[in-house]
Amino acid sequence: AQSVAQPEDQVNVAEGNPLTVKCTYSVSGNPYLFWYVQYPNRGLQFLLKYITGDNLVKGSYGFEAEFNKSQTSFHLKKPSALVSDSALYFCAVRDSSGGSYIPTFGRGTSLIVHP
């Protein structure tokens, strides 16, 4: 079975400060991991993925995420937050050894960047 948790419903950060949005997962085999962002009244947009290789993954809009196998985490980070980064962020995971290729999405974390 595969599962994903986003332990924070909301993250608040001041503009210019670094931000972290947390994600932990559980799979039987190796994980495929994804981050998506949803702006108000819009669909989700793909940010980045980890399939294999380098543990630090760089994605769109200056975001990056670090895969940590020992801690089963895939936290989303950005060195300097912008007010325009305020949105809902979703982590997703799929067990690469599972029979289904459908990922499980987390419940989302609302990021609020204050001016």
Partner 1 sequence: NAGVTQTPKFQVLKTGQSMTLQCAQDMNHNSMYWYRQDPGMGLRLIYYSASEGTTDKGEVPNGYNVSRLNKREFSLRLESAAPSQTSVYFCASSPRGDRDGYTFGSGTRLTVV
Question: How far are the Cα atoms of 7, 15, 18, 33, 57 from residue 66, in angstroms, in the given order?
Answer: 17, 22, 15, 10, 6
- Residues 22-61, mask of contacts with partner 1 (x by CB under 8 A): ----------x-x-x----xxxxxx--x-x----------
* Shortest separation between residue 102's beta carbon and partner 1, angstroms: 6
106 binds partner 1 (CB under 8 A): yes
Place of tokens 């001041």: 14
Q: Which residues ranging from 73 to 102 are in contact with partner 1 (CB under 8 A)?
A: 90, 92, 94, 101-102
* Shortest separation between residue 56's beta carbon and partner 1, angstroms: 18
Could you tell me if 108 and 89 are in contact, meaning their C-beta atoms sit under 8 angstroms apart?
yes
> How far is 52 from 32, CA to CA, in rounded Å?
8
Residue 44 or residue 113: which is nearer to partner 1 going by CB?
44
> How far is 100 from 69, CA to CA, in rounded Å?
21
Residue 32 or residue 74: which is nearer to partner 1 going by CB?
32
- Reduced 3-state DSSP string for 86-103: CEEEEEEEEECCCCCCCC
Binding site for partner 1 (CB under 8 A): 32, 34, 36, 41-46, 49, 51, 90, 92, 94, 101-103, 105-108
